[in-house]
Chain A
């Protein structure tokens, strides 16, 4: 008789069995390839005049423009940020590195020849000359720092160039109060304003361009210090937005263990450095392609922590040529030196400056090496090749006791790490004829150890547990004491 509880337990087990396969490596990559292919059509369909509602949208836009023009006439002063042509002469004079000291001098690191990174380039606050009668529009904002649009700056315009000239395109949408931006360059003085090159928080509006910092006493963007974690570690990675990590830690490295990335390699050619179809395969990304072709690195045995990262070919080869049972020790960092080489895609209106900052905000794999093969204490394991067993950990060849043949199962009793990448593993073969308790070395290049799933009988079947081998009983009892007698059974009592 099968009880309802037993049925439920078996239904869950059956479903788990059906669902137990590994997600194919190619699935996300292939899906994203199709998504990117379809992106253009989606953009066309949703463009302001490209979809079925285009005429209606055009009408709305025309009405809105008319209202805006009327409002500008009625209340010009209140709409200075939106109607740039009415802006007043500058109240702030910046004495920049320009030989002439002209007011449009640029303080960007590039213009001043200061291209190092990080830490952020301190703005030359001492070089700002403020007329005695004028109030500063704001403190000078540092490159690679965060700023936020103030309530006074609500509706702040982003432009493609610093200044109000015709070649400075007005970008949409306007920035609302509270929008956060990363300061990428500036200040540049033009048309009476101090302009900053900014990347708007990609999670909010995802714009890149120039914004004016304010006018007279009205500050439109102000510094917004980040809430930095104590250290760059996995908890910080999990809890902190990338912009904060970038500002707080710059290019500080973080080492973590991961499995092979979800970046499929070309099975047809067998070249582990050549990726199969990826979003960048159609040439829609910038250069170098590998900087754009990011993969998800999942922390080993931690499904809650993954990070998208760019992986250069040699590191990718290391990661791809090790199976999913070998953890890879990777060192990743934001703001990698290679980010400076990023260039926008062809036929893109993106500037080099934008391409570089977007790359600087990507994690890049700086180093990758195979870690020790993964086995766990109190499990059953095997290997696909013969493995030597030592009488004691330490690697003294004279101490080799016996060999466990390939595919034979053994119990993993203890794992004693020797270094970051290798360990001594205490084992007991399931077949006691092979040998007794001993130590196996597990390190890079050693025969791969693999955990074996043991199907344990339920608690209502103690007889089935007794039928298992001693090491399987040990596994199924989850470490609690069991009869581990491995000597021959006692002789039967004499017949009466």
Chain B
């Protein structure tokens, strides 16, 4: 299926480790390069978890600022990205816990932005299925949402998700299984 034009902004990896070192030493320009590298995937992940582009921008921004502040504590210069992902996921979890359930659906303007301009009947049926699925996803616990997003959006393996969330592998598997059941049931009910 052809995809729409997507602006992806990533930094050429001239030397990621050097950039991390320079940023840790206080070089804001080096940090901007690092931030540019992780920004697209970070924004995608937080938008998927939070369901709101406004909240996704907030979470991504907060996570980047926290990363800048905490960078001197990063032990492994080569592990910036997973380290940053942990900060981002924690920020998303905090946002989910802070806001009320009624606030969790994307507003109308944002929802309209993701609906194709020209939709066939078949596409509309698919959109309805996705809407049902999204409704069920919104009802998942914060950690379950994170697990599902990391696994199905970013294709992260169980072990890495466990590391990000500081959970045993078995707990991640169980949460993934439980979330999948909820989502599957939602589709069954919809159809």
**Which A residues have a C-beta under 8 Å from some C-beta of B?**
1-2, 4, 6-8, 10-24, 27-28, 30-32, 34-36, 38-39, 42-43, 46, 201-204, 206, 237-238, 240-242, 259, 262, 279, 294, 296, 298, 301, 303-308, 324-325, 374, 376, 378-380, 382, 409, 451-457, 461, 464-465, 467-469, 472, 475-476, 478
Contact = CB atoms under 8 A, between A and B. Distances in A.
B30 A455 contact: no
B88 interface: no
A238 B13 CA distance: 7
Nearest to A306: B11
24 contacts: A2-B187, A4-B184, A15-B149, A15-B152, A17-B130, A21-B56, A24-B53, A27-B39, A31-B64, A32-B28, A34-B61, A35-B31, A203-B18, A203-B22, A294-B32, A296-B32, A305-B12, A306-B12, A308-B11, A378-B2, A453-B3, A456-B1, A475-B2, A476-B1
- Nearest first, the 7 closest Cβ-Cβ pairs linking A and B are A203-B18, A303-B8, A455-B123, A464-B122, A19-B44, A19-B48, A15-B153
Among A1, A22, A237, A238, chain B packs the most CB atoms within 10 A around the CB of A22
A472 B120 contact: yes
Interface in B125-150: 125-127, 129-130, 133-134, 137, 148-149
A303 B3 CA distance: 15
Contacts of B31: 32, 35
A281 to B, nearest CB: 13
B4 to A, nearest CB: 4
A34 B29 CA distance: 13
B65 A35 contact: yes
Among B11, B64, B72, B122, chain A packs the most CB atoms within 10 A around the CB of B122
Contact of A202 (B18, B32, B60, B148): B18
B121 A467 contact: yes
B116 A452 contact: yes
Nearest to A41: B69
B40 interface: yes
Contact of B12 (A279, A307, A379, A456): A307
Contacts, number: 223
B183 interface: yes
Contacts of B113: 21
Given A7-B183, A11-B152, A304 B33 contact: no
A242 B1 contact: no
Contacts of B9: 23, 28, 262, 296, 298, 303, 306
Interface in B25-41: 25-33, 35-36, 39-40
The secondary-structure label for the interface of chain A is mixed
Nearest to A238: B12
A10 B129 contact: yes
Among A15, A31, A298, A307, chain B packs the most CB atoms within 10 A around the CB of A15
A468 B122 contact: yes
A314 B51 CA distance: 38
Contacts of A476: 1
Given A8-B152, A306-B12, A21 B114 contact: yes
A21 to B, nearest CB: 4
Nearest to B41: A19
B57 A27 contact: yes
Contact of A14 (B33, B47, B120, B130): B130
B118 to A, nearest CB: 6
Nearest to B37: A306
Contacts of B61: 27, 30-31, 34
B92 interface: no
B122 A20 contact: no
